[in-house]
A and B are shown apart, each in its own frame.
Chain A
């Protein structure tokens, strides 16, 4: 708890214009500047906004906790400019430097205000440093989070692409699975199949596992869960491409095979689905 109120809010309030000008000059002369990625007019605009938001947030005299409501507009602004900089190709450091570079003009002004009082100056510089560090690091955290979101989204897209659901016939879908099935992928597969069943109104789904090298108990469990879920929705599943080892796994799981329709290959599964849908295949001799 500070014994005396910090002078920083007052200083920023009184010398806003001068501080802004000095800050812009510092930024424009810096080695870090990226005029190729950010126009000068944009930099001016953003610096002005930062300062205005800072001034407003400081009205509540809270220079320590940037999670509180009064700092919300500033946090929001920092998220926006970080988003923009990510899109333009800035590094996390370059983005944080935008905030850190504000220290110099602020300290210069604080020095003028403190005059000879070294203790006051030291305290104010410390308070300012801690605050601006927090704001600068906030941009880094946002940067990180955004990057992670992109990676997750790309992973999801890849998983979607690698598990296409195909319509074989009216009301009959096929899901040819290829590659290793881990827990995450199986979840995606399950949801994508169920959604397709809903979308197309299919009564049958053939899950072909010919291309899946390893089916352990976990994978088998997931497959069976998919079959159960589809059944709850009103669709029947046939698992095709079942090798003897897989049959063993299913039995060891304690699931009676009568509950799960299985076929050796997709062709047979398709024939069965057609028959159960009431279709008869006839060959025209014309």
Chain B
């Protein structure tokens, strides 16, 4: 039995639906507030929120809507924020291609996915054609 910080933490998970650009602003706002309250530096806050913005847009615009679940992580003395974006969209056929800078299926600059990956410490993507997309990002303090 250990008496460390792992296990339940005082921050509860926040889930935000993402269906339109008002929702995207909400995601940015909430992510920013949480990062700021946890004492992330301004640059860290900006990187996290920008990554969240990219991924939220993917959900709303390319994914046909979905949601994000935000968790605060406190393990072994490290503090971090985890966001998991899920959408019910068409899924991505070639993930490697999608992560390449310049690749875009729509009107974007094509750096959303790859760019978001560069802004965070941990990045995981799970997507299959016809089964939607899930992207997990973590930024540590």
Residues on A lying within 8 angstroms of B by beta carbon are 65-69, 72, 130, 133-135, 137-138, 141, 144-145, 148, 187, 191
Contact = CB atoms under 8 A, between A and B. Distances in A.
Contacts of B5: 67, 141
Contacts of B1: 130
Given A72-B10, A137-B4, A141-B3, 18 more contacts: A65-B8, A66-B3, A67-B7, A67-B10, A68-B8, A69-B10, A130-B1, A133-B3, A134-B3, A135-B3, A137-B2, A137-B3, A141-B4, A141-B5, A141-B77, A148-B77, A187-B43, A191-B43
B92 to A, nearest CB: 28
Contacts of B4: 137, 141
B13 interface: no
Contacts of A69: 10
Given A145-B77, A191-B43, A138 B10 contact: no
Nearest to B42: A191
Interface string B5-27: 10111100000000000000000
Contact of B77 (A67, A138, A144): A144
A233 to B, nearest CB: 14
Taking residues whose C-beta sits less than 8 angstroms from the other chain, chain B's interface range is 10 to 19
Contacts of A65: 7-8
Contacts of A66: 3
A138 B8 CA distance: 15
A138 B3 contact: yes
Interface of B: 1-5, 7-10, 43, 77
Nearest to A138: B3
B43 A67 contact: no
A121 B2 CA distance: 23
Contacts of A72: 10
8 contacts: A67-B8, A67-B9, A69-B10, A130-B1, A137-B4, A141-B5, A145-B77, A148-B77
A134 B5 CA distance: 11
Closest 6 CB pairs of A and B: A134-B3, A137-B3, A67-B8, A145-B77, A67-B7, A138-B3
Contacts of B43: 187, 191
A107 B43 CA distance: 52
A252 B115 CA distance: 23
A69 B43 CA distance: 32
B109 to A, nearest CB: 15
B76 to A, nearest CB: 10
A208 to B, nearest CB: 24
A135 B3 CA distance: 8
Contacts of B10: 67, 69, 72
Contacts of B8: 65, 67-68
A97 to B, nearest CB: 15
Contacts of A144: 77
A186 B51 CA distance: 22
Nearest to B74: A67
A144 B1 CA distance: 19
Contacts of A187: 43
